[in-house]
Structure formats: C-alpha cells, structure tokens
Amino acid sequence: MDNQNEMKIYEELANHTKTEIVIVNKDGTVLTSSKLYKKGTNFDSELLSEIQKKNKIHKTYVDAETKEYYFLSGRSIELNEKKQGGAFVFASLDSIHDSIHKVKNYLILSIVVALLLAAGFTYFVSRKLSKPLIDMEIVTRKIAKGDLNINIKKLSNDEIGSLAQAINDLAIELKDYRTNRSEFLANISHELRTPISYLSGYASVLRKKLYDSDQEKEDYLSIIENEASRLTLLINDLFELSKMEERKIELYKEWVDIEELIEGVMGKAKLRADIGNVTIKYEPQKNMKMILSDGMRLEQILINLIENAIRYTDYGEILIKSRVIKDKIIISIKDTGIGIPSKDLPFIFERFFRVEKSRSREMGGTGLGLAIVKELVNVLGGAIEVKSEVGIGTEFIICLPIET
C-alpha cells in the first residue's frame, strides 16, 4: 500500500470516528488532510518535539484559532526509512460538552416533570382528602346551629369515612337527646302545673269562703297541704335525677350492714305510707356479711321499691330477701299487689311513666321513682330486673357487685 492510500485511510477513519487524525513526518509537515491541519502545512513544532522525546502524549489541546477544546493523544511513528514522525488524534471535547449539556438538559427536564407529577399528585390527594373534610366542616357547623337533619353521604372505608360516620351518629344522638329533652320538659311542666293548679284553686276557694262547713274547710286545707308536699317531693326527685344524669353523683362507700339497713328502710316506709292490710316481712340470709357500698344510695333504692310495693298492694304480703352469691348481693322485693300488665313492663323505668296515672297520683307517686332507682343501680354498677303478673304481684330484683 502506498503512502497516499494509507493517508486516505486515516482520513476516512477520522471521518468515521468523529475525530481528527493528523500524521506528521519528521520535519513537521502534515501528511493528512483534516479540519485542524491541511495537508502540507506545518504541524505544531512543540507537540512534535514533545512526542519525539516522550514517544506518547495525552493532553488537552486548545485550537489557537477556533478556541475549541480537544483531547489530544499522540504517538511517535516510524515513517519512510525510520524517520520519526507522529500520529495525533484530536477528539473534540465539544461533543463531550455537548453530551454533558444534553444530559444536563435531560436532568432538568426530568426534574421539572417529576415536580409537575408530584404537584399533580399532591393536588389530587389533597382534593380527595380535603373535599370530604370541607363537607364535614359544613355539616358540623350546621349541627352547631341546631340543624340536625344532616347525613354525610358516601362513606369511604378509611379514617375519613369513620369520622363522617361518627358525625352522622352524633347528629342522630343529638336529635334523640333533643326529642327526649323536650318530651321531658313537657312532662315536667305538666307535672308541676297539676299541683299548682290545685293549690291556687283551693286557696281561692278558701279565700272566697266557698265552703259550707268547717269540715269542708279542713278537707280543702289538707288537699293544699298534700299538694304542697307532692310538689316538694317532685322537685326533690327532679333535682336528684338531673344530678344523676349529669353524672355529678359521688359515691361514698362505707361498710354497710345490709340487715340493719333493710330493717331501717322498712320502718321508715311503714311510717310514710299507710300499709293497711299488708304485712312486710324480711328474710335475710343467715350470716349476712357486711358489704362495702354507698349506704345512702342503697337506702334510696330500697325506699323507692318498698314504697311502691306498699302503694300498689291492697292486701297480702311484701317479702324482702337478701342473699350474697359470690361477689354479688341480690335483694328482692316481692309483693302480692295489683301487678303490671306485660305491655307496660318495658316502660316502667322511664321518667313519668305510670300504669294508672290517677291511682299513682292519689297515692302520692311522682312517676320518677323507678327512673331514679334505675339510675342509682347503674351508678352502683349493678342491674335491676322486674317480674310481674296482673292480679298476682310484682317482684323487683336488684343485683349489685360488692367488695367484702
């Protein structure tokens, strides 16, 4: 292969590899043609002498004219009759710079895309989160204003969903409470109005002297006295009940001798109510232990139940039993009275519920006794049960936990 052809090959190679290949002879004359050096021009003498000394070089090179950067790799070669020349490969650093630039651009682009995606995702998630929260805020504000006809729709199965469910439940509960409360207030005002109308009615009868005999006058006075004491009783019961409902009741636990307590209550009940043809019996369990409980509350429960038994029994017997089973005390009060119809049994612990309003009223009942009993039993952590048959009798059984 002659020299010319060889040089052509180098030029071709340079073209293909996007590099500049420059072959220089010993005298510094360029033998190939390239962008940097035309054929026949003189090569950089410094580079040539460097290569003649070191055999090979690697360095960066700046073209004096174009100011372009190259990576230069050079080697000394033997040309024609062992004369030393050099082969130089100039790889433009611009293309590397280009690549770096491109990579930089890609990087910036991907950061921008990532940021956009993140922002979009955040927006989506926050919409998904905040929309139901905003709905709930609107609804709770409605509730606060007293509008309880709300229902948050489409509940998801997550925390947001259960929050919405809780708000719905709260609205339902508040609604129940509101109906309950207005019913209760209506009842109270009715219950208060009745004795007051008696009081004012008979007072004016007396003032106008609309009676025929002293006996009649006495009768009216005793009605006034009874109604006044009923009113006191009612107010006391209401106060008691409202304290209990607000959970303001504090328990004072003490050692209670159940036998002594029940006998005391029986004595008081006999004094307060006319027991007529009824006998009251107490059958304690043998060796009844002392129990730790709130004696006052226990007494209140028993007074209510025993007074009811007396009130609703015309003849026969009231039997009270107490026994301790394991860590519980069971007290039952059984009468042979008028009984409670089974349709009314579920309601007798409700405030102001009475099977026969007139009889209960006549006997001095307020309709709050059993509601108070139920609350008190709850406060003491126990339970109350009732069994009754019309014409045969009624039995109340309370079961309280005890510490002995």
Ligand X SMILES: Nc1ncnc2c1ncn2[C@@H]1O[C@H](COP(=O)(O)OP(=O)(O)O)[C@@H](O)[C@H]1O
| Interface ranges with ligand X (CB under 6 A) | 308-309, 311-312, 335, 337-340, 348, 353-356, 360, 365-371, 394
Q: How far is the CB of 192 from ligand X (least distance, A)?
A: 15
**398: closest CA among 261, 255, 286, 268?**
261
Span 355-374, contacts to Mg ion by CB under 5 A: 365, 369
Kindly state the tokens that stand for 141.
Answer: 């504000």
Q: How far is the CB of 324 from ligand X (least distance, A)?
A: 24
The label of the residue with tokens 């207030």 reads: 185
- Provide, rounded to whole angstroms, the least separation between the CB of residue 198 and ligand X: 17
d(CA 56, CA 54): 5
Task: Mark residues 317-356: x for contact with Mg ion by CB under 5 A, - for none.
Answer: ----------------------------------------
Say whether residue 308 binds Mg ion (CB under 5 A).
yes
Of the pair 11, 335, the CB lying nearest ligand X is at 335
The CA R_g of the chain, rounded to the nearest whole Å, is 53
For residues 76 and 308, which CB has a smaller minimum distance to ligand X in the complex? Answer: 308
b/e string for 135-147 if b means 16 or more Cβ within 10 A? Answer: bbeebeeeeeeee
User: Can you list the positions of beta strands (E) in 168-311?
Assistant: 254-257, 277-284, 290-293
Q: Which amino acid is at 71?
A: F
Q: Are 163 and 136 a contacting pair, CB within 8 Å?
A: yes
Interaction partner, residue 366 (Mg ion, ligand X, none; CB < 5-8 Å by kind): ligand X
Contact 238, 188 (CB under 8 A): yes
Can you tell me the distance from the alpha carbon of 16 to that of 92, in angstroms, rounded to the nearest whole number? 14
Nearer Cβ to ligand X, position 26 or 334? 334
Min dist CB 386 to ligand X, Å, is: 8
- The interface mask with Mg ion, positions 264-303, x = CB under 5 A, is ----------------------------------------
Query: Under 8 Å CB-to-CB from 234, ≥6 apart: which residues?
Result: 191, 192, 195, 366, 368
Q: Which does 282 bind (CB under 5 to 8 A by kind): Mg ion, ligand X, none?
A: none
Nearer Cβ to ligand X (355/402)? 355
Residues that bind Mg ion (CB under 5 A): 308, 365, 369
